[in-house]
Amino acid sequence: MFSKKTIRDIDIDNKKVLVRVDYNVPAADDGSIADDYRIRQSLPTLKYLLEHGCSLVLLSHRGRPENLNEYDPKTSTKPVAERLAQLLEREVKFVSSCVGDEAWAACEKLKAGEIVMLENVRYHDEEEQNSHDFARAIIGSTAVEVIVQDGFGVVHRAHTSTDAIARQGLPAVAGLLLEREVDTITKVMQDPERPLMVIIGGAKISDKIEILERFIEIADFVAVVGALANTFLLAQGHKVGASLAEPNDVPIALGILEKAHEKAKNNNFTFVVPRDVVVSKTIDGKSQTRIVDLSHNTWADISSYPKMPKESAFTVADDEMILDIGPFSASLIAGGAKLARTAIWNGTCGVTETKGLSGAQDPFAHGTKIVVEGLVGEAEEQNHPFVVVGGGDTVSFVESQDGLRERLGHVSTGGGASLDLMAGKDLPGVSVLWDK
């Protein structure tokens, strides 16, 4: 049960409300919004406030601006305001700063139902300094009466707009998205319907060590995929060629493998590292791909019969990169998904953003698609788990597949925040809110 007050728990009728949203969304080449998922997920909170006669001041970061004196559609929140106006079917006024005279002029006499979108809060260095002076400047420039935190993707950071601003004496409560994110993820970690399966990717083990150890403790099946798996392959003695990997983290990988091995001795537990991989010499999809059979050499034996397979069949060459898991590994994970009742999915299995040439399938998305078939089933009557999805690349893949979002249990708007919550870490942007 969410322990913090939400917009349902206080009197917000006709109030001027500052909503910290997470509109850190990618831009297309023409400057428009390439993926509006996070914007759409904020709509229930905004509509609830509007239905209660509120006027809204929206605050968000977007990317990491480099030139603060020059408008950049890839980091400005102006394109976000335009997209939000389309979704809400009402005007969203954009203000090119979040403090100062222009903000004051736009917000001072804001009427019920009116919305102002402030410029990227990271255009000010003070945002990441968790500055109380900057927090007071934002409140003073907008004349807001209530602070609503609804940016789940940023609550794991103690910044001005997540921490300091909620400490200035105004009511500080959660939005509906934040409440739903925390409740859903907390329940999956504390009381999942079993078996519990975890598919986890990423790049660095050092960034995931705590959550990997936590998953080994609570899950029944853990599969490491993506670049994260490459360091485990190094730890197992495999060559990974020019693949993205962290040789310095091999001792960490060995420690995690040992923990998994110890648990498997006495429990019904499975820890999967890819046994076959898809490699290529370039990441752009223009070079030939091949399957390297790392462990059992099944593919290599079949391809070479009646001869013995060459070493190259089960070895990644020095100039090759591992860019996807192979069909055997993908099928193994998909099979586990068929038996699971709850699944946590954080990280695609390969470089799914590389598009196929001349109408061909995306070359490094096959593994992910096989796993997805296991997670959601081929028909509604088939057994499939309640799936919680987190991580930017995973969410982007889900959104790119027609109808997939609706077949998954919960697609999170937060990557780092969801992992920190799963690991049991304190989320500063949640802790600071009013208790129920």
Give exposure, 339-377, as e/b (b: 16+ Cβ within 10 Å).
Answer: ebebbbbbbbbbbbebeeeeeeebbbbbbbbbbbbbbbb
Angle, helices 78-88 vs 43-51, to 10°: value is: 60
Tell me which residue has tokens 């229930």: 44
The yes-or-no answer on residue 38 being catalytic is yes
Q: Would you state the pLDDT for residue 253?
A: 96
Q: In this structure, are residues 71 and 123 in contact, taking their beta carbons and an 8 Å threshold? A: no
For domain 16-179, give its CATH number from 3.40.50.1260, 3.40.50.2300, 3.40.640.10, 3.40.50.510: 3.40.50.1260
Domains 16-179 and 192-422 share a fold: yes
Q: In this structure, are residues 128 and 104 in contact, taking their beta carbons and an 8 Å threshold? A: no
Position 321: which residue type?
A: M
Q: Would you state the pLDDT for residue 245?
A: 95
Q: Would you state the pLDDT for residue 381?
A: 52
SS3 annotation, 302-339: HHHCCCCCCHHHHCCCCCCEEEEECHHHHHHHHHHHHH
The one catalytic residue among 74, 136, 187, 204: 204
Q: Would you state the pLDDT for residue 294?
A: 93
The one catalytic residue among 20, 38, 62, 369: 38
The yes-or-no answer on residue 392 being catalytic is yes
What secondary structure does DSSP assign to 2-37, as a single string?
--B-BTTSS--TT-EEEEE------B-TTSSBS--H
Q: What is the C-alpha to C-alpha distance for residues 347 and 24, in angstroms, rounded to an integer? A: 19
Candidates 13, 20, 14; CA nearest to 57 is 20
The one catalytic residue among 338, 392, 407, 425: 392
Residue ranges of the domains in the chain?
16-179, 192-422
Q: What is the CATH number of domain 192-422?
A: 3.40.50.1260
Q: How many CB atoms lie within 10 A of CB 307?
A: 8
Phi-psi label, residue 290: left if phi above 0, alpha if psi -120 to 50, beta otherwise: beta
Q: What is the C-alpha to C-alpha distance for residues 81 and 44, in angstroms, rounded to an integer? A: 16
Do strands 386-390 and 410-411 pair parallel, antiparallel, or not at all (unpaired)?
A: parallel
The yes-or-no answer on residue 416 being catalytic is yes
SS3 285: coil
Q: What is the C-alpha to C-alpha distance for residues 193 and 176, in angstroms, rounded to an integer? A: 24
Q: Would you state the pLDDT for residue 379?
A: 60
Give exposure, 119-149, as e/b (b: 16+ Cβ within 10 Å).
Answer: bbbbbbebbbebbeebbbbbbebbebbbbbb
Report the chain (436 residues): mean pLDDT per 10 consecutive residues.
95 98 91 91 98 98 80 90 97 96 96 97 95 98 98 98 98 98 96 97 86 96 97 97 96 97 95 97 95 84 87 92 97 95 96 89 95 84 84 87 91 92 95 98
User: Whats the size of the chain, residue-wise?
Assistant: 436
Angle ∠(419,424,430) on CA atoms, nearest 5: 80
